[in-house]
Structure 1
Amino acid sequence: MIECYHDSMKLKEMIQNYIPFNEQEAKDKDFILQAMDVHEDLLHRSNPFMHFSSSCWITNQERTKVLMIYHKIYDSWAWCGGHADGEEDLCAVALKELNEETGVNQYRLLSDKPFSLEVLTVDGHIKRNAYVSSHLHLNLTYLVEADEKTPLILNKEETKGVKWIPIDLLKQEVREVWMMENIYQKLVNKMKGAK
């Protein structure tokens, strides 16, 4: 069973070694590396401009469905994920968020290396009765396989729903058009080539 890398490979080195899938990933990889050269506090939300986050792209064994949450802030079906909050092992962060947001604790991590990377815009929003200004997420995504028969749990603090969505219905379910067309569709395309 594959486990997260647990600091055996430092975050910057891992990103430097990442092979981009497309132009978006190539440009975002360069952006992230430049940001790491300029900012020292990218693992913490205290950096109001940008900080690291981590996501899971969760598929069933047949690669026909993905597990998504209905995110309250984005008002859309979305992947699982969250902030690094000081943790350098972003794989562990993604898996923790998977469990917290869906209840899934039995899964197969398909690689301890990122499956995808992206720089994402986050619009200003209210969280815990306080305004959070627009900022960037420097995001690493990990590919995870889970059994769609596993019982799911709704995390009412952050989500309005959790369910398996057939890949061919994603465009109908996801309300964030840019995310669907540029990130989720990319992940679907990459997943088709994943083992």
Structure 2
Amino acid sequence: MNLKEQISHYIPYTIQEAKEQEVMLRYMDTFDNLLTRENEFAHFTASAWVVNRARTKVLMAYHNIYQSWSWVGGHADGDADLLQVALKETAEETGVTAIAPVSRDVYSLEILGVPAHLKKGEPIATHLHLNVTYLIEADENEDTTIKPDENSAVEWMSLTEAVKACTEPEMRVVYQKLNEKLETFKQKD
């Protein structure tokens, strides 16, 4: 299933997600370069909500640009397989390699506003991330490492701690949604 089909078939968890799904699909019909940063207005990113097997903890990284605890993920950079992007970014940003998708299906959709900032000394204009989130499971006992150019700490936190540790109000809303939805993915052992 291609990316547009994945987004089309996704069943929104909230009315906000339904609106963002609608906008993403419209942008996909309008722009042909949403998979690359060449589109300076909006482009696709993939995020991972990385949970332990018991679904009681989430793996968070302290993001250097936003000065906040956050999920992991990154730009598609031309790759339409956003699940693979999320898995690759998880390994790169946390050092954790014992990771697997809980499902290959999209877990959540978000359109995130990114304020103007400097990245590696270069100015980046305000833009949108058309974000596709996947639910990923990882071994909480595996050693973690930071990715110094992106984060300065990586920690497992309880679901509640993860929301509280985030200093970005709009992202707290997203993380709370992800945690609430996680109840439907509790491990059935």
Q: What range is the shorter-chain TM-score in?
A: over 0.9
RMSD of the TM alignment (CA)?
A: 0.8
- How many Å separate the matches in 2 of 1:79 and 1:42? 22
Q: Deviations over 1:45-91 (max 9, x none)?
A: 01010000000000111211100100011110000000000000000
The counterpart of 1:81, out of the listed 73, 95, 98, is: 73
Comparing 166-175 and 151-160, the one that deviates more = 166-175
- How many Å separate the matches in 2 of 1:127 and 1:12? 29
**Structure 1 outlier segments of 4+, above 4 Å:** none
Does residue 50 in structure 1 map to residue 38 in structure 2?
Answer: no
Does residue 36 in structure 1 map to residue 21 in structure 2?
Answer: no
Instruction: Tell me which amino acid in the other structure corresponds to 1:92.
Output: Q
Instruction: Tell me which amino acid in the other structure corresponds to 2:183.
Output: K
- How many Å separate the matches in 2 of 1:161 and 1:68? 8
Counterpart for residue 169 of structure 1: 161
Instruction: Tell me which amino acid in the other structure corresponds to 2:33.
Output: D
Does residue 190 in structure 1 map to residue 181 in structure 2?
Answer: yes
Unaligned runs of 5+ in 2: none
- How many Å separate the matches in 2 of 1:44 and 1:67? 27
Instruction: Tell me which amino acid in the other structure corresponds to 1:192.
Output: E
Once the two structures are aligned, what percentage of the paired residues are identical? 47
| SS of residue in 2 equivalent to 1:33 | helix
| SS of residue in 2 equivalent to 1:119 | strand
Q: Deviations over 1:13-55 (max 9, x none)?
A: 1111110001111000000000001100000001010000000
Comparing 40-49 and 168-177, the one that deviates more = 168-177
1:184 Cα deviation from its structure 2 partner: 0.3
Aligned length: 186
- How many Å separate the matches in 1 of 2:32 and 2:166? 34
Instruction: Tell me which amino acid in the other structure corresponds to 1:189.
Output: E
Does residue 70 in structure 1 map to residue 62 in structure 2?
Answer: yes
Comparing 163-172 and 133-142, the one that deviates more = 163-172
TM-score using structure 2 length? 0.96
